Homo-oligomer: A and B are copies of this chain.
Amino acid sequence: MNLTRRLVAEGLGTALLLAVVVGSGIMAERLSGANVAVALLANALATGAGLVALILMFGPISGAHFNPVVTLSEAWQKNIPMTEVAPYIAIQIIGAFAGVAAADGMFNLPLLFASEHIRTGPAQWWSEFVATFGLIAVIIGCSRSRPGVTPFAVAAYITAAYWFTSSTSFANPAVTLARAATNTFAGIRPSDTPGFILAQLLGAFAATLLFGWIYSTTPKNSTNGGTITSSDLTKKQC
């Protein structure tokens, strides 16, 4: 698969992911009145369901990382070459902002505008550490044993993580940056992004280290991005 095609897939997938996260947040807030639990329920279900579709449709092309810390973790495991890390992360960030703009446009809002949603403090940083640790752990655990289920496992994990963390689990630096550009349900104040991103990097680092050891007896580069083996494209059908 040539790199251009993979970067287009990666950027488009990240854009659609942000459109799902931000768009469903706006819709949920508008319709739910004062009941934030109902809004988060809708937001979590839409995000989880959207992830199933997005990882399945883009996984065979780009690995469907949609997330700089996933790309870094995959590169560390030698599942993608180091030279592709920078272009992957660049296109993820560009796609993420494009997706926020697409969502805001669907709801008649200014395309990009700074969020005022405060998300900070040790409890939320610890949440982001745990959320990202778990995400990377899910990806490594599934991709080294049953890669075909990874899309479902990741989507299920994120659905749960919206609820079990006080930060609602961003777990993704590109998503964090782009969500600073929408003053809606899913937003985050720009000045709060560094704390989130640092916690995400640490969580991803810890998970890659620990799960590299736990799964050390299985072949290292068995998958690309944890969603599908390259042979899946030839043998077809689950």
Which of B48, B107, B126, B153 is the one whose CB lies under 8 Å from A56?
A: B153
Instruction: Evaluate whether A147 and B222 lie within 8 angstroms (CB atoms) in the complex, with A142-B57, A156-B50 already known.
Output: no
B123 to A102, Cβ gap below 8 A? no
B217 to A1, Cβ gap below 8 A? yes
The CA of A141 and the CA of B43, in the complex, are separated in Å by 24
Instruction: Evaluate whether A106 and B164 lie within 8 angstroms (CB atoms) in the complex, with A60-B146, A145-B232, A237-B147 already known.
Output: yes
The residues in A between 14 and 39 inclusive whose CB is less than 8 angstroms from any CB of B are 16, 19-24, 27-28, 31-39
B164 to A8, Cβ gap below 8 A? no
Give the chain B neighbours of A152 by CB distance below 8 A: 52, 56
Number of contact residues on A: which range applies? 35 or more
Residues of chain A touching chain B, judged by Cβ–Cβ distance below 8 Å, are 1, 5, 8-9, 12, 16, 19-24, 27-28, 31-50, 52-53, 56-61, 102-103, 105-108, 121, 123, 126-127, 130, 134, 137-138, 140-142, 144-149, 151-157, 159-160, 162-167, 210, 213-215, 217-218, 222, 228-229, 231-233, 236-238
Give the chain B neighbours of A16 by CB distance below 8 A: 134
B38 to A166, Cβ gap below 8 A? no
21 contacts between A and B (CB under 8 A): A12-B210, A21-B164, A27-B40, A28-B163, A31-B37, A35-B35, A40-B42, A45-B45, A49-B159, A50-B157, A50-B160, A52-B152, A53-B154, A53-B156, A56-B146, A61-B215, A102-B126, A103-B164, A106-B127, A107-B166, A108-B166
